[in-house]
Amino acid sequence: MIVVYHSCKKVTQIDDVDSGLELGLRATTIAATLCNLATEFPDRLLVWCDEELSGRLDIDSVGRLFSNKQTMISYAAGANYLQSAIGYVEDSTFININRDVRYATWQMSADSGAIYGATLTAVSIDVRLADDFGYFLNSVAKLAMPEGLFCYSEPRLLIDRPTSATKTADNRTLFRFVRQHFKVTWVFLLLLNLFLYEKRFPIFAAIQSLFYRRRRFANQEFSQIADSSDFNFADVSIDVLIPTIGRKKYLRDVLDDLATQTLLPRKVILVEQNPLPESKSELDYLSMSWPFEIKHIFTHRTGACHARNRGLVEFTADWLFFADDDIRLRPDFLEEAFAKILALKGGAFNICCLNRGKEREYDKIQQTYIFGAGCSIVSRECLGNSRFDTAFEFGFGEDSDLGMQLMNKGFDIVYLPSPIVLHLKAPFGGFRVKPVHEWDSDKIQPKPAPTVLLFKRKHFSREQIYGYKTTLCLKFYRVQSIKNPFSYLKHFRRQWQRSIYWSDKLLQNNNANP
């Protein structure tokens, strides 16, 4: 392990922890020094730390924070390098960081951090070493995270987690970062949002940013983590949870696919719903012989949140596969998935799910903020007591909300581009009824859907919510009937307020009737 101490502007000391010697490989910038060390010592763990925090760096623990070498960790003792205004631009869970746990994010800090030398060399190609160190770190992480670099805010880097006056980016740097890492449209949207919600109008910073070009990840050969080939799959116990309603034929196909898996699940938990008071189960084939236990729950209460929560009570294996009743799986689906899962050593995985005829858009293993309740695999340790929030029942966002619960416990969600879950999007069963929401009779219909806004209010920053409000307003204008812009803005504000009202109501009702 090599530790680089700096004063934000220059390197002050380089310690080789293994030999106890001080190294002299310094360059003109902190970033250049770190990259030179990466070239010289590709197999060593490189650590950086602000000299003011040198006494708080937990050197003994740093190595244990890496489960694989394609990882970059850091921790900001003070504020993030980029202003909170970056939330106006990015609508993801990587912005509103939970500082109390290991949290997936591309927002890196110069205060403290670590990365392996070979990994830094691979991901920093074509990133200017003359950049401010904080800018360099954030740029590397922002570019490389979608390509498979695992990036975290890691509080265990520092002892007692002190606070300090971290250097943050000014307006010019913020706009430059947006120009170099997002579509150019976001420069103007950032300017608009700053004016609307903060009464700021840094027009010169915005104009200056237009002279920069967008950065792209240059190393297309960046290697991904290899599958696990020497693990005894007999040690893997898997339960499968499937809520179903009116899809007898499609569910039978799912069970047949599970029965032919080369890595068999131990138990399949079926939660069958039928709202008709006198109805009984239509799944007569459950009495057949199956190569796994089937736990069948029949209920007259409908709703995916309630159904999955009922099923979670029966989860007893080490892993749970959240599935749908209208998917198809190859015979080697679970074996291929767990070859990757065991190599990655994570707790929550979102499997690529495609509708028939659709092409896969993302082909890299990467951290994601997307959690699908019909195509995800989660460990018992990760899931714990987490449950679907019934405030989202018959709406949108219950799966994303569960994903956020997992992230806020210190687990990240990893996207696997293969194997593939084929989603048939089967038609509704004969007794399915369209749910009636309390707001359906509102004269002013809420915009967005109250469950969508509820999710954002629970998990996103103030700037992210306002940024979403602006983009929604602009996008919706083109597809609605009010063409007078002033009348439209007045109407949209009223719709937004109704959405706030109903999202509050959903939360209150859920707290009163958990």
- Closest to 140 measured CA to CA, from 226, 35, 51: 35
Residues 6 or more apart in contact with residue 301 via CB below 8 angstroms: 273, 275
CB 279 within 8 A of CB 351: no
CATH of domain 2-169: 3.90.550
pLDDT digits (tens), the chain, 514 positions: 999 999 988 999 999 998 888 888 778 899 999 999 999 999 999 999 999 998 899 999 999 999 889 999 999 998 899 999 999 999 999 999 999 999 999 999 999 999 999 999 999 887 888 779 999 999 999 999 999 999 999 999 999 877 775 778 999 999 999 999 999 999 999 999 999 999 999 999 999 999 999 998 876 667 666 655 566 777 899 999 999 998 999 999 999 999 999 999 999 999 999 988 889 999 999 999 999 999 999 999 999 999 999 999 999 999 999 999 999 999 999 999 999 999 898 999 999 999 888 888 888 999 999 999 999 999 999 999 999 999 999 888 999 999 999 999 999 999 999 999 999 987 765 445 677 888 999 999 999 999 999 999 999 999 999 999 999 999 999 888 898 999 999 999 999 999 999 999 998 876 655 5
Interatomic CA distance for residues 427 and 429, integer angstroms: 7
Phi, psi of 433 (to 5 degrees): -125, 145
Q: What pLDDT, on the 0 to 100 scale, is given for residue 220?
A: 64
Q: Is 224 exposed, middle or buried (0-12, 13-18, 19+ CB in 10 A)?
A: middle
Phi, psi of 10 (to 5 degrees): -150, 160
- Closest to 273 measured CA to CA, from 314, 239, 308: 308
Beta bridge partners of 368: 413
Per-domain residue ranges for the chain? 2-169, 233-423, 438-512
Question: Residue 436 has what DSSP assignment?
Answer: P
Full DSSP string of 255-305: HHHHHT-SS--SEEEEEEE---TT-----GGGGS--SSEEEEEEES---HH
- Closest to 355 measured CA to CA, from 370, 341, 375, 337: 375
Interatomic CA distance for residues 305 and 315, integer angstroms: 15
Phi, psi of 114 (to 5 degrees): -160, 150
Q: What pLDDT, on the 0 to 100 scale, is given for residue 431?
A: 46
Q: What pLDDT, on the 0 to 100 scale, is given for residue 191?
A: 98
Interatomic CA distance for residues 334 and 469, integer angstroms: 40
Q: What pLDDT, on the 0 to 100 scale, is given for residue 114?
A: 98
pTM comes to: 0.92
Instruction: At 36, list the tokens.
Output: 């030179």
Return the number of other C-beta atoms located less than 10 Å from residue 153's C-beta.
Answer: 25
Q: What pLDDT, on the 0 to 100 scale, is given for residue 228?
A: 56
Instruction: At 195, list the tokens.
Output: 């004016």
Instruction: At 480, list the tokens.
Output: 């609605």
Q: How far is CA 463 from CA 51, 209, 459, 469, in A?
A: 32, 21, 12, 10
CB 353 within 8 A of CB 423: yes
CATH of domain 233-423: 3.90.550.10
Domain 2-169 and domain 233-423, same fold? Reply is yes
In the block, residue with structure tokens 């520092």: 158
